[in-house]
Structure 1
């Protein structure tokens, strides 16, 4: 069961719009007694009672619907028949501070309706609570009525580690949730790492992104069941060595921090297969570090300041299949060391030359550079998509015509004067974008071509050959 903000707390401390709330299930004026059953019915008080959402709400002022309201959470509690009084039910909340209200109904029909409806509520168990984007400065007390939470979302609030006033519920109390698996504290005002979460043994996913964190404490190594650890958008420059004790950890996201190197402890996290360090402060990619991380298949280093790849006595990096280096400051790139790469992103660098291994290459994204030379060897027979637009290429490399699975080719915004005729005979090519070049002519006739989209706008073409599309299906 998932419960959202209105089910747990209202900012004013009172239920809102009781008279018109769509969440009201039952309501009426009945004889009510709190916590004491051994009193004659004429000693009880006539009050308004409302079954609203997951709570029983009872007015504290006689014959009043506008006074202060008592809220009794029913989830996990009890609804029981009271045999000593006719048409009477006992409503009890769960937990060590349990409270009980007794209500005597006017007739059996009312009694039965309340018994059926309230019993359904009491039998439920809260497993997921979403309190994101609620402007919370501290944790609401009602949150702790259920100890069975498995998922808690507190994203984008104003939570701090030590709230004021001192009576407010602090984040240190989160350790009371002994069954919690997923906790999202991202986009708050923590400033420091919330140590209490390290005492939740069941936690498998923790998100503390965007909290101005400057360090991660060594005690995180005690979270032996943690699998996903999101630390994006902080001011981190290092990680503690104790992370190596987190053997279940398979996803760590470190994007948009202040790392200047790949943290050495990641070599010990062998369950990880993706390195997520976009938006950091790296100016050199040390390939020797990647060599010591054979479990990493996907490398994401976008939006750093990388100017070169450092490769002293390095062998092939067979394990990397996806490499993302877009939006860096590379002037040249020899990526042949990644001999099993399938997808390469290197858009928006300053590349003049680019060398890639073609053995398993499936997609190449190299637009918005200054390329004059593109070398792929051997011929990439698995290549399906290539974008080399917005460069300084004067000729299309011959190997492109021999790439048997190429479906989409974008060479727009270059300085290409002629397209090889045999390019159009490629049986897999469906889309060819060659606009904004210097093309002066096209083949006289496209035969046996499978091209479906041909873009040659903004070139130097004076006319299209009269038979160009005569045999183009």
Structure 2
């Protein structure tokens, strides 16, 4: 049947550029595709196809392939031969894996739609899709995303709604051209500080997660739209409690002393640190107290500061204050806090 349908569609001869055979109840791809080396667009949406035919690899000029709503369980290796492909639609299948090497051949791909499949993970090779600008993997079973995904410099729109994500990697800060990020209905508990470095981000939707607090600097994002309904955000409810004295480990005391000397440009300490790269690396992860401006390493007091969302943001109706995560170096600084800074009760 598929061959007959294709022959009917071939009235334009071997120079045919577009083939559309949507909703024909086809169970396999027609092998006669090899007679169409100049084909640019192939639409086989809403059929019953479960695997590609070997002849697909001959379509090296294909720019758009739509196999949405079929029965594929894998993105097969044959896809890597579609070296001119720019748009690939595989939504509504049963895909749970991506064959090795596929991403190496799809170097021209700008759009990938994998919505409504069964993916639990993405291979590291996805980072090789260097020209990808739009990636949508809504309604899958992803529990995480590989850091390699964050190396796709061209990515501007990322949809990861309705998955099982627990978090987003800090490396997301590398997606410098990201403009739209959708993370609706996952299990995300916290957003990484790297998110605050996305200067081009304009739309962020994190509705329906389990986020309580945002990283410091979040309020400086140049967003146009921000949605966060359905998250258990911290509310402005001050709690009076007896605060213990500051007790630091010997390691922390030593670290603070060295960090203080580095701040003072102590050349003896600076030269000594250069001879111990591991120590230098650990000290490079030090933070700075927003109140006293002194550096600290691993002992801190976690607090929340409430700020008003930007007037330039289109926001969720119930969002009045944004809770920001603030790390103070000591209880002594906590006593000097302002009226909008509160401690976080430890359960």
TM-score, structure 1 length as denominator? Answer: 0.47
More helix by share: 2
Distance 1:297 1:193 in 2: 28
Q: Residue 326 in 1 paired to residue 161 in 2?
A: yes
**Which has the higher Rg, Structure 1 or Structure 2?**
1
Q: Per-residue displacement from partner, 1:391-438 (whole Å, max 9, x unpaired)?
A: 1102488586475x73312152xxx7x748xxxxxxxxxxxxxxxxxx
Query: Could you say which residue in structure 2 is the equivalent of 1:365?
Result: 205
Cα distance change, pair 176–402 in 1 and its aligned pair in 2 (3 A)? closer
Distance 1:376 1:342 in 2: 20
| Native 8 Å contact 1:367 1:389 kept in 2 | yes
| Native 8 Å contact 2:109 2:129 kept in 1 | no
Give the counterpart of 1:177 among 9, 12, 37.
12
Give the counterpart of 1:243 among 62, 79, 85.
79
Give the counterpart of 2:66 among 227, 230, 237.
230
Q: How does 1:57-456 map to 2 (within 5 A)?
A: 160-161=1-2, 171-178=6-13, 179-263=15-99, 264-286=101-123, 288-311=124-147, 316-334=151-169, 336-339=171-174, 340=176, 341-355=178-192, 357-358=195-196, 359-360=198-199, 361-375=201-215, 377=217, 379-395=219-235, 401=308, 403=310, 406-410=312-316, 412=318, 419=321
Could you tell me how far 1:290 is from its partner in structure 2?
2.6
Could you tell me how far 1:277 is from its partner in structure 2?
0.9
Q: Which runs of 5+ in 2 are unaligned?
A: 237-303, 323-347
Distance 2:66 2:59 in 1: 14
Corresponding residue SS for 2:126: helix
More strand by share: 1
Q: What is the number of equivalent residue pairs in this alignment? A: 248
Could you tell me how far 1:377 is from its partner in structure 2?
4.5
Higher RCO (CA 8 Å, separation ≥ 6 residues): 2
TM-score, structure 2 length as denominator? Answer: 0.63
| Native 8 Å contact 2:43 2:67 kept in 1 | yes
Distance 1:175 1:181 in 2: 10
Could you tell me how far 1:320 is from its partner in structure 2?
2.6
| Native 8 Å contact 1:253 1:276 kept in 2 | yes
| Native 8 Å contact 1:226 1:248 kept in 2 | yes
Corresponding residue SS for 1:373: coil
Distance 2:133 2:216 in 1: 21
| Native 8 Å contact 1:180 1:203 kept in 2 | yes
Bigger drift between 335-344 and 359-368 goes to 335-344
Corresponding residue SS for 1:354: coil
Distance 1:214 1:297 in 2: 27
| Native 8 Å contact 2:111 2:134 kept in 1 | yes
CA-based RMSD of the aligned residues comes to 2.9
Distance 1:170 1:366 in 2: 45
Cα distance change, pair 239–345 in 1 and its aligned pair in 2 (3 A)? closer
Distance 2:312 2:169 in 1: 22
Distance 1:376 1:411 in 2: 22
Distance 2:153 2:5 in 1: 48
Cα distance change, pair 242–310 in 1 and its aligned pair in 2 (3 A)? closer
